[in-house]
Amino acid sequence: ERYRCLTGAQVAVPAIFENAATGDKAALTVLDETARYLAQGIAAIAAVANPEKIILGGSIGLRPEILSRVKDLMPLCFPYPVTVEAGELGARAALIGAAAIGLGQLHNTLFGVDAPDGRISLPTAQAAALKEVVL
């Protein structure tokens, strides 16, 4: 939406990153503004929750163009150091989280009790990167 406001062109998010790589000023502005909003949101979370680390995920949060900008902006938004990293599960994080919820409910249905400590073991990040699941 912001890119459209700046240029009048309706483009998909990947195209904004491609345009930024070629020096498109509007695309660079969109990336800068997005990173600023993320850094401000992270600072608000850090002020309340005091996390040791914030993990960014999703198709935008995993992009190095955004991650590096957020890291650069954090000291301007929050007076204490907060580690910001890209998630190891990549773009499949939501799918893996949904699978964990489903596994937990299946466990409860089969055994009538919550999993010990409320945890279900999930595959490692490398296993989660598999592109095909064979049933």
d(CA 117, CA 110) in angstroms, rounded, equals 17
Tens digits of per-residue pLDDT, 50-79? 888 888 887 788 889 999 999 999 999 888
| Alpha carbon 109 to its chain's center | 31
Residues 94 and 106: their CA atoms lie apart, in Å, by: 18
pTM summary value: 0.68
Determine if residue 81 is left, alpha or beta; phi over 0 gives left, psi from -120 to 50 gives alpha, anything else beta. Answer: beta
Name the CATH superfamily for 2-87: ATPase, nucleotide binding domain (3.30.420.40)
pLDDT at 41: 93
Token pair of 102, please?
Answer: 């489903």
Position 102 scores a pLDDT of 86
**What is the average pLDDT value for the chain, to the nearest integer?**
82
Return the percentage of the chain with pLDDT > 90, whole number.
36
Domain layout of the chain by residue ranges: 2-87, 92-128
d(CA 49, CA 34): 22
